[in-house]
């Protein structure tokens, strides 16, 4: 069994402060979370694919490649792939 964390790549308002992070801040936070997942010994980090607001990852494989360059052993995966927006051939 593998244990990990996945993100749907949302950009949402903090309900306690009202602050909404920028897309850049949210991507940096996702990278930091993935690095922490590896640091504490979890196995997997996955990120979802979305093509509309309020989400930042329309290309999760690109974000995962960036994370892969900063990690050593963690398994990286997509968490959601929208078949309706991808050519299956």
Nearest Cα to 5, choosing from 37, 32, 28, 31?
A: 37
What are the domain boundaries of the chain?
4-85
Please list, in sequence order, all residues whose beta carbon lies within 8 angstroms of the beta carbon of residue 29, skipping any fewer than 6 positions away. 21
Please list, in sequence order, all residues whose beta carbon lies within 8 angstroms of the beta carbon of residue 21, skipping any fewer than 6 positions away. 11, 14, 29
pLDDT digits (tens, 9 = 90+) for 10-55: 898 999 999 999 989 999 999 999 999 999 999 999 998 877 778 8
Give yes or no for a cis peptide into 44 (omega within 30° of 0).
no
Kindly report the pTM of this predicted structure: 0.81
pLDDT digits (tens, 9 = 90+) for 51-71: 777 888 778 889 999 999 999
């Amino acid at each position: 069994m593998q244990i990990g964390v996945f993100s749907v790549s949302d950009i949402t308002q903090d309900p306690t402060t009202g602050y909404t992070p920028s897309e850049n801040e949210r991507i940096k936070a996702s990278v930091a979370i993935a690095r922490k997942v590896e640091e504490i010994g979890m196995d997997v980090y996955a990120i979802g694919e979305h093509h509309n607001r309020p989400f930042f990852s329309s290309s999760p494989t690109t974000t995962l490649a960036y994370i892969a360059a900063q990690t050593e052993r963690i398994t990286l995966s997509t968490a959601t792939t929208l078949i309706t927006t991808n050519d299956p051939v």
